[in-house]
């Protein structure tokens, strides 16, 4: 497969708070928007050239609307703090679209399982599934610590069944989102992004039912393009030397669950 990406100077159209620590940034970026596929990500320069932080930060493509990309991000450190302070008409350098995204499976039922900010790539995916398979059922299972940390659920509706789980019971099911997945039956493909323990739990349920399961991994990234080897993750099975590892930036971030966890 030919992988095409570019560096584009994006222009901020909107940068608004969606909850206490997360924002949605809409960026005019026509070239990247035209090439982007669900599950892919971009590397964003959060500062001007030569200023700290020097390295770009990886963020999933949350949505594509015409010539614009939306990024949904949680402020956790210097780079995301700088992004949060950007205003309309500021410009920023974006590299992308990067990586291998989700493959939309031929299924009657698609279950998208997001934990916290892991919901970010699932909106773009839900919209693409709806376009590709208008008659299929799509369920979003969204997990968060509390109702205050639930993000952008309303953007999935109408057209997507939404099931919510919160750790403290403040909204939806009182417990883990994996407990909701365990109730699902039938011919299902599972797509998941979120904390690693949650995704491992999702993969275990999918394995039990022999469902297809695609996981979107996170790792620290320096280049985002397969050059620095900083994002290597050990894969399942017995492999020798360099074959023991996959690179989240170029082989992923989306993998079949069995490729990572046996
Ligand atoms: C493919 C991919 C897609 C991502 N998509 C999103 C997204 O859509 N929305 C979003 O909010 N975040 C996303 N992330 C995580 C995001 O890249 C980091 O939160 C961001 O780089 C932090 O930058 P910072 O300068 O603000 O924080 P830093 O000062 O660099 O770090 C602050 C804290 O965050 C941790 N951290 C930093 N980078 C990562 C990382 N890559 N993975 C896990 N922990 C990290 C650090 O260990 C530290 O504890 C994604 C990461 C990857 C690899
Ligand atoms: S981030 Fe450099 S090889 Fe993956």
Ligand 2 atom nearest to 228, measured from its CA: 2
Nearest ligand to the C-alpha of residue 61?
1
How far apart are the two ends of the chain, measured CA to CA in Å?
Answer: 26
Q: Which part of the chain has CATH 2.40.30.10?
A: 6-98
Determine the residue of 52, 77, 149, 248 to mutate for testing ligand 1's pocket, defined as the one with the most ligand atoms within 8 A of the Cβ atom: 77
Fold of 109-216: Rossmann fold (3.40.50)
Centroid of chain to Cα 213: 15
Tens of pLDDT, residue by residue over 199-220, are 999 999 999 999 999 999 999 9
Answer yes or no: is the C-beta of 252 below 6 A from any ligand 2 atom. no
For the segment 48-58, what is each residue's pLDDT rounded down to a tens digit? 777 888 899 99
- Nearest ligand 1 atom to the CA of 62 is 8
- Which ligand 2 atom lies nearest to the CA of residue 249? 4
- pLDDT digits over 144-196, tens only? 999 998 888 899 988 899 999 999 999 999 999 999 999 999 989 999 999 99
Rounded to the nearest angstrom, the distance between the alpha carbon of 219 and the centre of ligand 2 is: 9
∠ CA 254-258-259, nearest 5°, is 60
Q: Cite the residue boundaries of each domain of the chain with CATH code 3.40.50.80.
A: 109-216
DSSP state letters, 201-238: HHHHHHHHHT-EEEEE-----SSSSSSS-TTEEE-SS-
**Cβ of 120 below 6 Å from ligand 1:** yes
What's the full length of the chain, in residues? 262
Residues 6+ apart with CB under 8 A from 188: 107, 109, 110, 111, 206, 209, 211, 212
Q: 58 C-alpha to center of ligand 2: Å?
A: 11
Work out the number of other CB atoms within 10 angstroms of the CB of residue 11. 15
Distance CA 4, CA 104 (A): 20
| Ligand 2 atom nearest to CA at 248 | 4
CB 57 less than 6 A from any atom of ligand 2 = no
Cβ(252)–Cβ(226) below 8 Å: no
User: What CATH number has the domain spanning 6-98?
Assistant: 2.40.30.10
Helix, strand, coil distribution of the chain in percent, nearest 5: 25, 35, 40
Q: Is 196 in the pocket of ligand 1 (CB under 6 A)?
A: no
pTM for the predicted model, two decimal places:
0.95
In whole angstroms, give the CA distance from residue 152 to residue 158: 13
Per DSSP, the residues of 127-160 read: HHHHHH-TTSEEEEEEEESSGGG--SGGGG-SSS
Reported as a single tens digit per residue, the pLDDT across 9-34 is 999 999 999 999 999 999 999 999 99
165-170 long-range Cβ contacts below 8 angstroms, 24+ apart: 165/141, 167/143, 170/146
Structure tokens at 217: 């991994």
Find the angle CA(124)-CA(129)-CA(132) to the nearest 5 degrees. Answer: 125
Identify which of 37, 38, 45, 40 has the alpha carbon closest to the alpha carbon of residue 7.
Answer: 45
């Amino acid at each position: 497969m030919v992988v095409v990406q570019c560096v584009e100077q994006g222009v901020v159209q909107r940068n608004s708070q969606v909850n206490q620590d997360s924002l949605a940034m809409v960026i005019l970026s026509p070239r990247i928007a035209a090439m982007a596929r669900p599950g892919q990500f971009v590397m964003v320069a959060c500062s001007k050239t030569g200023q700290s932080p020097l390295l770009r930060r990886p963020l999933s493509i949350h949505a594509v609307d015409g010539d614009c990309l939306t990024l949904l991000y949680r402020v956790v450190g210097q780079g995301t703090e700088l992004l949060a302070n950007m205003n309309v008409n500021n410009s920023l350098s974006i590299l992308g679209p990067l990586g291998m995204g989700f493959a939309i499976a031929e299924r009657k039922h698609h279950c998208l399982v997001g934990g916290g900010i892991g919901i970010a790539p699932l909106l773009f995916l839900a919209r693409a599934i709806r376009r590709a398979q208008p008659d299929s059922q799509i369920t979003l299972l969204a997990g968060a610590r509390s109702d205050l940390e639930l993000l952008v659920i309303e953007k999935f509706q109408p057209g997507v069944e939404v099931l919510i789980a919160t750790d403290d019971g403040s909204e939806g099911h009182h417990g883990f989102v994996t407990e909701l997945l365990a109730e699902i039956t039938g011919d299902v493909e599972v797509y998941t992004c979120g904390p690693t323990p949650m995704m491992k739990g999702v993969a275990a349920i999918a394995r039990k039912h022999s469902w297809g399961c695609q996981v979107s991994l996170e790792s620290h990234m320096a280049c985002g393009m397969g050059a620095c080897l900083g994002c290597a993750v050990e894969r399942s099975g017995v492999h020798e030397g360099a074959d023991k590892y996959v690179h989240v930036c170029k082989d992923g971030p989306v993998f079949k669950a069995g490729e990572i966890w046996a």
